[in-house]
Amino acid sequence: MALTQPVKRWGSTDPIVSVNNMRSKRVNAASVGPAYANAFRMKHRTTIATSVLSLALAVGCSKEKNANGSYFGKTMAPPGDLAKIKKGMTLAEAQKAVPAIKKDEQSGDYMVDSGYVNLKIEVSLRKDVVDDIIFKFKGTDASKFLSEAFGPGTPDKIDKERVDWKNPATGYKAHLSCSRNCYLYMEDFVPLKPEFFPKEIGPIADLAKVKVGMTEAEVKAALPNKPAIIDSLVNAGPDEVLMSVYAPKATGVVQSSRMLMPEEGVAMLKTAWGEPVETTTSIGQVQKVWFNAKTGARVTMDEKDPFGKVSLVFDSYMPYTQMLGEDKDVVAILPKPFLGLSAAEIKAAYADTAVTEGDDVRLRLPPSELEMFETRVHFFIYEGKARNARFKIPYGTRVGAKEEIMAFMKKKWGEPTQGTDYKKSLIFHAAPPVVKVSDDTISKGWDVEIADAVD
């Protein structure tokens, strides 16, 4: 197929325009002599007749240049050089592979001349990265000849005008939508297979290049072929597997990443990672979670995602054992003295994790195992000086988690004594810095307080 053959635009009426132009040039025969008038009539009758004949020949040629079933043959794949264009290529890479890709100055789209009057070919881009190839057929004839070429296809369950094809042999998938015209969208097709999932618990595929705490600029540098991945879903490789990166506008840094996959991926994931831990959040949401204590990676699965797929959220966590540490005189996440310091002094001492809002200062740390978002250490400032710091270690509804965390505290600090406050706090360390722990049965977690006095 010649990709550079000139093509008429849809709706072109050049031959008709030329005939009408000649008709518009008629003169009044009475204004010239009879001989001249007769000669004028004969000349323009001949010209009009010739033009009509040319129009008929042009129409006949156009029909011969219509794309039909032979355009693709029996192979469901982009024909000719179009097969060199791959999803995820930058525009520059695609144009290097297929120099015939040109920008249509009128529409702003990037097109390839098909050589057929009833077919336009667009290389669809998303932020200058190839998304798919769109074959735009004039009329609805394509519905019939593509079904004959590719087979009957699979009708879409919702869109009655859509038909889908997938061909693992050629590595492409396509869907055709027809109403007044037909649009064929074609892109790479990679079946979801067990080897897609790594043996170690953690982010999958390109998401492994994204780390919590990265800036948007760092994400784009790590994934130059996926500029739209921040806060929007992009193709992850295998069919129907999508991914995105979440970076809140308030911080501008990565908090988590996400992947959506078909239901059949769950069995493959469990083969690679084993069964997840099941727990219920403080708002009653059942979650299944995998933990990697070695890397601090946490993967939370939701099998009832609103998109109709299985959702995986990847973030980092800090095991409560690491959060508390084993040294009985120091809480690991509070290694520097803070009692008696001002908010400004605390912020300077904990510059990497401290944030302030007015007179309030707190630390923002990775979540513990059963914390959904982040661990926050709050400081109570009285008369300009810090008197205590508080944080929570959730135990949720995970069977045995509450007792397991308490056992670690007793191993670290020894047996506690019973406090006299309304919380019935457990006093692990009575001399400053005092260590008090109370049970929050509403939000299901252990509240840990480091203070300058028991009361």
Q: What is the DSSP string of 54-88?
A: HHHHHHHHHHHT---GGGTTT--S--GGGGG--TT
Residues 391, 424 share a domain: yes
Residues 347, 292 share a domain: no
Which helix (DSSP H) or strand (DSSP E) does residue 280 occupy?
A: strand 277-280
pLDDT attached to residue 352: 84
Asked, for residue 310, whether it belongs to a domain, the answer is: yes
Of 39 and 136, the one with more pLDDT? 136
Pairing between β-strand 154-155 and β-strand 434-440 as defined by DSSP bridges: unpaired
pLDDT attached to residue 57: 29
**Which range of residues forms the domain containing residue 351?**
320-451
**Over the stretch 220-259, which tens digit does the pLDDT of each residue have?**
999 988 888 998 888 898 988 999 999 988 788 898 999 9
**Over the stretch 363-417, which tens digit does the pLDDT of each residue have?**
989 888 888 888 999 999 888 899 999 999 998 878 888 999 999 999 999 999 9
Asked, for residue 129, whether it belongs to a domain, the answer is: yes
Instruction: Report yes or no: 149 and 69 within 8 Å, Cβ to Cβ.
Output: yes
Residues 79, 20 share a domain: no
Asked, for residue 365, whether it belongs to a domain, the answer is: yes
DSSP code for 115: S
Peptide bond just before 433 cis, omega within 30 deg = yes
Final residue in a domain of this structure, among 284, 316, 348: 316
Cα–Cα distance between 328 and 316 in angstroms, integer?
26
**Over the stretch 144-171, which tens digit does the pLDDT of each residue have?**
889 888 888 898 877 888 999 998 888 8
pLDDT attached to residue 71: 86
**Over the stretch 62-95, which tens digit does the pLDDT of each residue have?**
345 888 888 888 888 898 899 999 888 889 999 9
Average pLDDT over the chain, rounded to whole?
Answer: 82
Q: Would you state the structure tokens that stand for residue 124, as one six-digit string? A: 């669809």
Cα–Cα distance between 261 and 312 in angstroms, integer?
8
Residues 328, 447 share a domain: yes
Instruction: Report yes or no: 280 and 397 within 8 Å, Cβ to Cβ.
Output: yes
Binned at pLDDT 50, 70 and 90, residue 54 comes out as: very low
Quote the crossing angle between the two packed helices 14-24 and 34-64, to the nearest 10°. 170
**Is this prediction's pTM over 0.75?**
no
Residues 220, 285 share a domain: yes
Final residue in a domain of this structure, among 316, 351, 376: 316
Residues 140, 80 share a domain: yes
Asked, for residue 243, whether it belongs to a domain, the answer is: yes
Asked, for residue 6, whether it belongs to a domain, the answer is: no
Asked, for residue 77, whether it belongs to a domain, the answer is: yes
Final residue in a domain of this structure, among 316, 340, 355: 316
Residues 279, 332 share a domain: no
Asked, for residue 182, whether it belongs to a domain, the answer is: yes
Residues 100, 39 share a domain: no
Q: Would you state the structure tokens that stand for residue 358, as one six-digit string? A: 């007015």
Asked, for residue 209, whether it belongs to a domain, the answer is: yes
**Over the stretch 11-52, which tens digit does the pLDDT of each residue have?**
333 333 333 333 333 333 333 343 333 443 333 333 433 333
Residues 269, 306 share a domain: yes
Residues 79, 100 share a domain: yes
Cα 25 to Cα 12, 28, 45: the distances in Å are 22, 10, 13
Binned at pLDDT 50, 70 and 90, residue 438 comes out as: very high
Q: Which residue has the tokens 């990443």?
A: 257
- Domain count of the chain? 4
Residues 148, 77 share a domain: yes
Q: Would you state the structure tokens that stand for residue 384, as one six-digit string? A: 């300009």
pLDDT attached to residue 227: 84
**Over the stretch 181-191, which tens digit does the pLDDT of each residue have?**
999 999 888 99
% of residues, the chain, pLDDT over 90: 46
Report CA torsion sign: 441, 443, 448, 453.
negative
Instruction: Report yes or no: 287 and 278 within 8 Å, Cβ to Cβ.
Output: yes
Residues 22, 118 share a domain: no
